[in-house]
Amino acid sequence: MLYSKYKWRIRSAESSITGQLAEELSLPPIVASLMASRGIQSAVDGREFLYGTLELTHDPYLMQGMQEAVPRIRKALEDREHILIYGDYDADGVSSTSLMIHLMRYLGASYDIYIPHRSNEGYGLHNHALDWAHQQGVSLVITVDTGISAVEQIAYANSLGIDVIVTDHHEPPEVLPEAYALINPKIPTCPYPFKGLAGVGVAYKLAQALVEEPPEEWLQIVSIGTIADLMPLTGENRVLVKHGIESMRNTRYEGIRCLLEVSGIHVEQVTAVNVAFSMAPRINASGRLDHAGRAVTLLTTEHREEAERLAWELDGLNKERQQVVETIVQEALGMVQNRWRGQEIPPVIVLAGEGWNVGVVGIVASKILERFYRPVVILGIDPESGNCKGSARSIPGFDIYAALLSCKESMEHFGGHPSAAGMSLHRDRLEDFERGLIRYAEKALKEEHLIAVCEADLEASISDVSLSIIDQIEQLSPFGMENAVPKIIFRNAVIKDVRKIGKEGKHLKLRLQQKREVIDAISFGCGHLADILPAGTAVDVLGELSVNEWNGSRKAQLMIQDISAPYQQVFDYRGIQEPIQEIRRWVADLEPHLRCPAVRAAVVYAKDSHPDIKSQLYDMCLWVYDRNAGIMPENEAAKSSQQDISVLFVLDVPETAEQLEALMSAFHSVPNIFMLHPTRNLRERLQIPNREQFKKLYVSLARLTNAPMAENEVITRLQKQTSLSSRMLFKVLDVFEELAFIQRADGMITFISKPEKKPLDASRHFRELNDLADMEQHLLHAGTEQLTEWLMSRTKGVS
């Protein structure tokens, strides 16, 4: 049984609304159903969703603070004041700063920019930066994607005679700074109707107010920041991003064009998904491992050569970032294992490490969250100062910003959203900080919050998803937060082919079939699942549809997000080399899919066959075959966990049918069974005995043994007359001896000429041979399908 990573929940879509949308908008039912599941209730809403123009955006003067900000900026322009654009180092901050540069150039302003260094300075407005601005003659600071929490810093700016206009979209604190103007739709008194703008979206509204009709190409920059900052692609954001992506397909911005080319994306085919997974990580890499100014220069340069150089530099930084992340993730996973070995993991995971690059801790937090599905805080500790900087990532239903607010006394600074946040504190406060978060989580988190849920749009058959349907689904783009790429469930699809692809076999490629219809499917990062998804396996899959274009050919393709095989399975690895090493690897790699932590993994073997097993698999449930009891627990783990076993590894074949019966009885409900026992030479196979065969052997034996003969000699001669193995012939002699047809003594055999007549099945050895031969026929020599059916039949009805 392959468990899904998520609980699948299908969005509801009323059939009446689906029918209405399909009819009035001339849509295929599957596309109309996808729209209805996204909350579109009428054809009017549907037309706006599909064909909405920039006329649907809101008046920027509805934004509180705009009436004060615009005249102040106009005055600065008229008086040739020097303006400082103060940004942030993430992709939204980079985009916001870049947009303001385009605006300043358009307005002919005298300006500078400042973005703090993530590692050396940290998030937010800093007094030393204001001192520098004052020395440069700055009299007006405009913050983008930051500033709403900078109470003390803005007070300091005021004391220097510098006016500050804040444009931000982060959660406002209880006490707001006394800035010249605060522009943030999330301020409780702000009447602006759409609250989901990114920092670059708020900056764009300021540009709209100043320019009235900004160049449409500026929306390319808005798209990047909005998508990268995981803002909802609904309402006004959808309109801005949709037009931005369309503009990007004909971009004249050299930086955007080069970044797309470096990412392997055809500029004319760019999508919001490409921005999220290819462009945004490279832009973010600049601020994570270097300085974000490099990415700002890329997005604002007008020179092709400079753009090419910077794009390749960001690509290199992104590769370096990936390696740094992987190293920290492995260290963090080791910490989890060591800190909570054998214990329940707390509702919030807080991990801190010396030297961890604070530029990537947010990504690490996301990966640890995905592994354990609970809120995570990852902090890098400066070993000299003891200062910690970290990032938090949360799960639906748990507001991490509110959680941080509950223990704000432990931190020097914090800020963020309900799903992601950042903070700084001293290592001496780490324990208080962790206790405070756990205390809050124990009250706020419920059991259902800790179950990962993946929302699917609908169930379908492979026959439902033609290329034309996939093309029409694309009308629902741009896809992103709150308008996700449609996820579709396909049930009972049979795997026709399975392969590991990519570097080191990291990815999984399947060919799935339902009836006569076939589709290729890819699962990134899941190459290890090939070990438990052999051809012929029936699976349920949840995935996203795409089109694979190659050499002018277009084929439907499924990008798998989750997969399950909802039935008991047997995995045939008979004769595998280094089985103990493989068991360790499987338990580590497949635990989320087989739910097999060491305490729920059972290993059955013949005593003394694997002398090092206790030291290598000490934390698993070890069982050995026993002549009397069938199987016996060999360690303490086995004595306490038998009923909770999720995977069984069989290292050796049972010696008797009774041992097999005991094995099947003890583990009849185990979802996954791995057969790892050695194979045996066919020349040593046992055959299921029959009376005619035994009659012929009896006659042959009578001819051979007129006088006592050495047993080995008898076996040699009988082998020449039959096709039976020596092992089989020894078993036959055991039967004849038990029935008093022969006598054995000192390695010699004497034939009894007139024995008492007895039926063969009166012999216990005959009955055992029958059972043993049948067992070995299946365990050692049957094909995988026959072996599986036989084992499954043995578990049915056993309790």
Q: Is 457 helix (H, G, I), strand (E, B) or coil?
A: coil
In order of start, what are the domains of the chain with their CATH numbers?
Answer: 7-11+455-564 (2.40.50.460), 58-316 (3.90.1640.30), 340-445 (3.10.310.30), 569-679 (3.40.50), 683-779 (1.10.10)
Cα–Cα distance for residue pair 200/181, rounded to 1 Å: 17
Alpha helices in 263-303 (DSSP H): 272-274, 280-289, 293-300
Q: What is the pLDDT of residue 63?
A: 98
**Alpha carbon separation from 101 to 108, 689, 716, 731 (Å, rounded):** 10, 89, 94, 90
Torsion over CA: 672, 678, 681, 686 (sign): negative
Q: How many helices (H) and strands (E) does the chain have?
A: 28, 27
**pLDDT tens column, 217-273:** 999 999 999 999 989 999 999 999 999 999 999 999 999 999 999 999 999 999 999
Cα–Cα distance measured from residue 119 to residue 219, given in angstroms and rounded to the nearest whole number: 30
pLDDT at 511: 97
pLDDT digits (tens, 9 = 90+) for 298-329: 999 999 999 999 999 999 999 999 999 999 99
Place of tokens 């003594």: 745
648 Cβ contact list (under 8 Å, min separation 6)? 602, 603, 604, 667, 670, 672, 673, 674
Confidence of residue 640 (pLDDT cuts 50, 70, 90): confident
**pLDDT value for 344:** 84
The amino acid present at 624, given as its one-letter code, is V
Q: Is 577's pLDDT higher than 70?
A: yes
Distance CA 253, CA 302 (A): 7
Residues 521 and 512: their CA atoms lie apart, in Å, by 7
Q: Evaluate the CA torsion angle 102, 321, 315, 486 in order and state its sign.
A: negative
φ and ψ of 709, to 5 deg = -135, 145
What does the pLDDT read at residue 641?
A: 67
Per-residue pLDDT, 720? 86
Q: For tokens 């009805």, what's the residue?
A: 797
Three-state DSSP string of 715-753: HHHHHHHCCCCHHHHHHHHHHHHHCCCEEEECCEEEECC
Q: What tokens were used for 440? A: 């809050």
The phi, psi pair for 566, rounded to 5°, reads -85, 50
Q: Given a cut of 60, is residue 642 above it in pLDDT?
A: no
State the pTM of this model.
0.83
Q: What percent of the chain has pLDDT over 70?
A: 99
Read off the pLDDT of residues 150-200 as tens digits, 9 standing for 90 and up. Answer: 999 999 999 999 999 999 999 899 999 999 999 999 999 999 999 999 999
Q: Which helix (H) or strand (E) holds 563?
A: strand 553-564
Between residues 86 and 789, the one the model is more confident about:
86
State both tokens at 199: 């920092």
DSSP bridge pairs for 560: 543
Alpha-carbon distance 164 to 174, whole Å?
19
Place of tokens 């050796």: 652
Residue 462's pLDDT is 95
Cα of 701 vs its chain's centroid, Å: 66
Q: How far apart are CA 258 and CA 791, in angstroms?
A: 58
Residue 798 has what pLDDT? 54
Over the stretch 127-152, which tens digit does the pLDDT of each residue have? 999 999 999 999 999 999 999 999 99
- What span, in angstroms and rounded, lies between the C-alpha atoms of 308 and 238? 30
pLDDT at 211 over 70: yes
What is the band of 799 on the pLDDT scale with cuts at 50, 70, 90?
Answer: very low
**The tokens of 316 are what?**
């290199």
Is pLDDT of 789 > 70? yes
Residue whose tokens read 């009923």? 643
Strand order in the sheet with 163-167: 110-114, 82-86, 138-144, 163-167, 181-183
| Amino acid in position 609 | S
Distance of alpha carbon 458 from alpha carbon 279, whole angstroms = 30
φ, ψ of residue 191 to 5 degrees: the values are -85, 0
Q: Please classify residue 409 by burial: count the beta carbons closer than 10 Å to its beta carbon, then call 0-12 exposed, 13-18 middle and 19+ buried.
A: exposed
The neighbouring-strand residues paired with 569 are 672
Query: H/E element holding 167?
Result: strand 163-167
pLDDT tens, residue by residue, 446-497: 988 998 999 999 999 999 999 999 999 999 999 999 999 999 999 999 999 9
What pairs with residue 164 in β-bridges? 141
Token reading at 575: 């004769």
